[in-house]
Amino acid sequence: MKAGFDHKKYKPFAPIEMPNRAWPNRSITQAPNWCSVDLRDGNQALPNPMNVEQKTRMFKLLLELGFKEIEVGFPSASQADFDFVRVLIEENMIPDDVTIQVLTQAREDLISRSYESLVGVKQAIVHVYNSTSFVQREQVFRRDKQGITDIALNGASLVKSYAEKYPETQWSFQYSPESFSQTELDYAVDVCSQVIDVWQKDNKDQRVIINLPATVESAMPNVFADQIEWFCNNIPQRDSIEISLHTHNDRGCGIAAAEMGILAGADRIEGTLLGNGERTGNMDIVTMAMNLYSQGIDPELDLSNMAEIVECVEYCTQLPVHPRHAWAGELVYTAFSGSHQDAIRKSIDFHNENGREHWNVAYLPIDPRDIGREYEEVVRINSQSGKGGVALVLERDFGITLPKWMHGELSVLVQAHVDKSGEEITPAKIHEIFQSNFIQVSDLWTLRDYSIKTKEDYVELEFNIGQSPAFKGAGKGAFEAMVDAVKRRSSMNIRVLHFDEFALTEGTRSDAIAAVAIEVEDKIYSACAIDEDITKAGLQALLSAMDSAVKLEQLAKAV
Ligand SMILES: CC(=O)SCCNC(=O)CCNC(=O)[C@H](O)C(C)(C)COP(=O)(O)OP(=O)(O)OC[C@H]1O[C@@H](n2cnc3c(N)ncnc32)[C@H](O)[C@@H]1OP(=O)(O)O
Ligand SMILES: CC(C)C(=O)C(=O)O
């Protein structure tokens, strides 16, 4: 091990003493109030922050998805952020039922500039923050608790007094004790409570949001939930405020923390689409909303066009969405492995045949079509796939149903191909392998014409193939008569092992496919034929199987 990789450099996060915690016994039954921070926290984490055009595109998408609260920027940070807020207001882009939010530090120059950016807006949330954790107090601000509280209260008073200068706007106030999850809980409650008092002292109805961030995620999500429950139980003004959560994903649990935080009593969630944000990202609203959706809870966001969301996020952030990203990634509804494919095929068939009220398909937590994905992408074939998957691709993409006994035969050929190439095989290539091995027949064995005479309890068949003189045979059916006719010209012993016919499910004509397996000299040969005439398809399939046998010189003397 390299020197320096030493876990003793770190200490465990102290658990919260809470013997009567209630959140583990609760369930989420409805969506929280969502607030997108894509245009602020997401934006501030980008190597190249969004320009006005990208921000506008993202804003329009957020409206389309149904967000009612959107943090649109940090207007005192840059001209671009300021200008974007002005564009939204001056170009009347904010629907009446949507409230924009802006973030500012608790500093007068920044607060004043933030209000300037908001002139003329119908309603807005002014979000002020300062850091409260021990490490920030000790090392960054170098102030004691009172000093930090003073920054918060100064910010709160300024936010309130500037709001009074713009009475035409309906203002909501939001305070974040930044680094809340690393702040002593009693201190966090104390600061927040004093901020709330500043804002609600003269007006009990003043809307106040207290936003509790895991600015840097540094404990397990259950610890965060304990912190939220403790806070909710101890903040004196709980009934007159909204509790919002703003989690990050440093330990990979930002979504779990937000979900557990909702159980612990929070009302509102801040996050970004697909989790862009500082370091490992903000809480991913798409994932959390889809988690609700997949539990039968209305997420109150329209995520039905996932491709559009991914495309817009990638365009605006210039960051790729991982193909395995929960719910949204390109590969998350795709199975390559054989046993998964087999189970998915059987499970979907079962669903179609039995009709169930609720989706419950193996390996597919939701119906991919709900979010605009197709069944086409569910099964893709490579060296890890099995016969069920290959058969499914042929049926799904070409409408060709094969009898179960043929699945293995085709799969062996496909497997040989992928073993050689080492790559995924396309449906077109699978179809080509099927065609060349089971459908293609030499001219010599192509049925030119046939006629059947029905006698009392048997039929007589006469047919022509290649340039040979007419074949004649008799049997209980046309099929048996054909075997009889070939046997009359050959000493070979042909035994029919399988014969199946299916209607093709696709195509403009109501074609049928026949599949035949024969045994000749202890060897088995299979073939298929497709024709509008179902009898002809069966007869041709039989001839094609014989063709295969002849190719292997088993029936060389037959013609
Ligand atoms: C966790 C979060 O995501 S919080 C949001 C963070 N987002 C951003 O920082 C993006 C936008 N920020 C910026 O563009 C700039 O930082 C600005 C415009 C806000 C401020 O710029 P500047 O004043 O030039 O620089 P800077 O950010 O370094 O300011 C640090 C000063 O602000 C103080 N400060 C930092 N945060 C706060 C706060 N929330 N409230 C009051 N003062 C604060 C610091 O103590 C420091 O003070 P000092 O100068 O006395 O040492
Ligand atoms: C300003 C706050 C809410 C923040 O972005 C954070 O703590 O991550």
CATH code assigned at 254:
3.20.20.70
Residues 244 and 296 in one domain: yes
Residues 226 and 95 in one domain: yes
Residues 143 and 165 in one domain: yes
- Annotate 193-210 with DSSP letters as a single string: HHHHHHHHSS-TT--EEE
How far are the Cα atoms of 4, 217, 279, 542, 556 from residue 251, in angstroms, in the given order? 20, 6, 11, 63, 70
Q: 106-129 pLDDT, tens per residue?
A: 999 999 999 999 999 999 999 999
Q: What is the CATH number of the domain that holds 512?
A: 3.30.160.270
Q: Residue 128: enclosing H or E segment and its boundaries?
A: strand 123-131
End-to-end CA distance of the chain: 74
Tell me the C-alpha distance between 394 and 528, whole Å: 13
| CA torsion through residues 250, 254, 260, 262, sign | positive
From the CB of 215, is ligand 2 less than 6 Å away?
yes
- Mean pLDDT over all residues of the chain? 94
Is the distance from CB of 285 to CB of 294 less than 8 angstroms? no
Banded pLDDT at 355 (limits 50, 70, 90): confident
Q: Which of 42, 41, 99 is nearest to 313 (CA)?
A: 42
What's the gap in Å between 245 CA and the centre of ligand 2? 10
pLDDT beyond 80 at 1: no
- State which ligand 1 atom lies nearest to the alpha carbon of 41: 3
What's the gap in Å between 77 CA and the centre of ligand 1? 9
- pLDDT > 90: percent of the chain: 87
Q: Residue 73: enclosing H or E segment and its boundaries?
A: strand 69-73
* Last residue in a domain, options 405, 439, 473: 439
Lowest model confidence (mean pLDDT) among 134-148, 209-223, 476-490: 476-490
Is the distance from CB of 219 to CB of 261 less than 8 angstroms? no
Residues 92 and 220 in one domain: yes
* Last residue in a domain, options 265, 288, 317: 317
Buried b (16+ CB within 10 A) or exposed e, 187-214: bbbbbbeebbebbbeeeeebbbbbbbbb
On whether residue 559 sits in a domain, the answer given is no
Give me the domain span that covers residue 78: 31-317
Residues 232 and 245 in one domain: yes
Of all protein residues, the one whose alpha carbon is nearest to atom 7 of ligand 2 is 215
Banded pLDDT at 81 (limits 50, 70, 90): very high
Residues 428 and 500 in one domain: no
How far are the Cα atoms of 449, 468, 495, 550, 556 from residue 462, in angstroms, in the given order? 8, 12, 20, 21, 21
On whether residue 360 sits in a domain, the answer given is yes
Residues 418 and 449 in one domain: no
Residues 84 and 147 in one domain: yes
What's the gap in Å between 124 CA and the centre of ligand 2? 18
pLDDT beyond 90 at 555: no
Count: domains in the chain? 3
Q: What is the dihedral of CA 542, 547, 552, 558, to 10 degrees?
A: 90
On whether residue 9 sits in a domain, the answer given is no
pTM value?
0.89
Contacts of 197 (CB under 8 A, 6+ apart): 237
On whether residue 1 sits in a domain, the answer given is no
* Last residue in a domain, options 386, 418, 439: 439
The DSSP call for residue 138 is I
On whether residue 380 sits in a domain, the answer given is yes
Residues 280 and 209 in one domain: yes
Banded pLDDT at 502 (limits 50, 70, 90): confident
What's the gap in Å between 86 CA and the centre of ligand 2? 23
On whether residue 392 sits in a domain, the answer given is yes
From the CB of 129, is ligand 1 less than 6 Å away?
yes
- State which ligand 2 atom lies nearest to the alpha carbon of 103: 1
**Of the bound ligands, which one is closest to the alpha carbon of residue 180?**
2
From the CB of 211, is ligand 2 less than 6 Å away?
yes
From the CB of 333, is ligand 2 less than 6 Å away?
no
Q: For residue 248, say whether it is annotated as part of any ligand binding site.
A: yes
Residues 361 and 429 in one domain: yes
- Tell which one of 50, 85, 105, 151 to mutate to probe ligand 1, the residue whose CB is within 8 A of the most ligand atoms: 105
Residues 283 and 375 in one domain: no
What pLDDT was estimated at residue 559? 47
Is the distance from CB of 349 to CB of 340 less than 8 angstroms? no
ipTM (interface pTM) = 0.97
pLDDT beyond 80 at 558: no
Q: 473-487 pLDDT, tens per residue?
A: 999 999 999 999 988
Residues 70 and 83 in one domain: yes
**Of the bound ligands, which one is closest to the alpha carbon of residue 213?**
2
Q: 414-473 pLDDT, tens per residue?
A: 999 999 999 999 999 999 999 999 999 999 999 999 999 999 999 999 999 988 899 999
Banded pLDDT at 506 (limits 50, 70, 90): low
On whether residue 22 sits in a domain, the answer given is no
Banded pLDDT at 508 (limits 50, 70, 90): very low
- pLDDT > 70: percent of the chain: 97
pLDDT beyond 50 at 45: yes
On whether residue 501 sits in a domain, the answer given is yes
